[in-house]
Amino acid sequence: MRSEQFLRISRLLGDETIQSLHTKHVTIVGLGAVGSMALESLIRSGLGSVTVIDFDTIGITNLNRQILATYETLGIEKTAVAKERVEAINPHCSVEALPLFVNRQSVEQIFDRKSDLVIDAIDSLSPKVALLETAYKKGIPVISSMGAALRRDPFLVRRGDLMDTWGCPLAKQVRYRLRRNGVGRGIDVIFSAEEIRFTYKDPNEEEHADFNEQISETGRRRNVLGSLPTVTAIFGQQLAHLALTKLLGEEELGAREVFNAR
């Protein structure tokens, strides 16, 4: 890779750190607003290779928040668009695109390839649980994003162990299912504790939403949840930074104690 492309990062973290990142492989599952933003930051940071996984195509309602979505990419598989974008940012990064719907039957395909870290940015409950449970039981490092939709305050987005989260309905359901299946502490997540203020519509009343976004993993129509580009981007950026701390070490990118000026 061209060293000058990552000069600003090496000046901050050192040449050895950026060279270490060039050797890492990450698997990102889910290329919506959160997953695609995490991908963007990791590639710009100098990640050496990546596998991107998503079954969906880009729809018009993705335009408000997903970095891969433009009018030119409408109707194209997200994995194909992601591969092209990765190669446009850093042609030396190796990228594998896998248009796969994650469920109990297909999840093993994700772990056929060796990864230093798996990033879960899935927005559906059952696939999310299947991925996290499998990674946990195989001892493969995994981090996850909880619900980013319906949030209005980006300053309430934070990091924590999944078992310590609060205020997030998705995290609560994921936590319950995983505990029931023998999964304990050790999965770091990005979540928001913001109280949700939202009036749900009957899915059958949705007239203008992208059809692809209305179908759940069970084949039923589901609610189209409101979301802001500012908040989903913060989720994605924090997820990417959490990934970097896992890949490079907390001592490089972890929190530092802050002292108030006196």
Question: Residue 218 — φ and ψ, nearest 5°?
Answer: -90, -5
Domain count, the chain: 1
Residue 193 sits in which domain range?
A: 3-252
Q: Would you place residue 255 in the very low, low, confident or very high pLDDT band (cuts 50, 70, 90)? A: low
For residue range 86-143, list pLDDT tens digits in order: 999 999 999 999 999 999 999 999 999 899 999 999 999 999 999 999 999 999 999 9
User: Which CATH number do you get for residue 131?
Assistant: 3.40.50.720
CA distance 103 to 14: 40
For residue range 155-186, list pLDDT tens digits in order: 999 999 999 999 999 999 999 999 999 999 99
CA distance 130 to 137: 11
Would 50 be classed as within a structural domain?
yes
Would 262 be classed as within a structural domain?
no
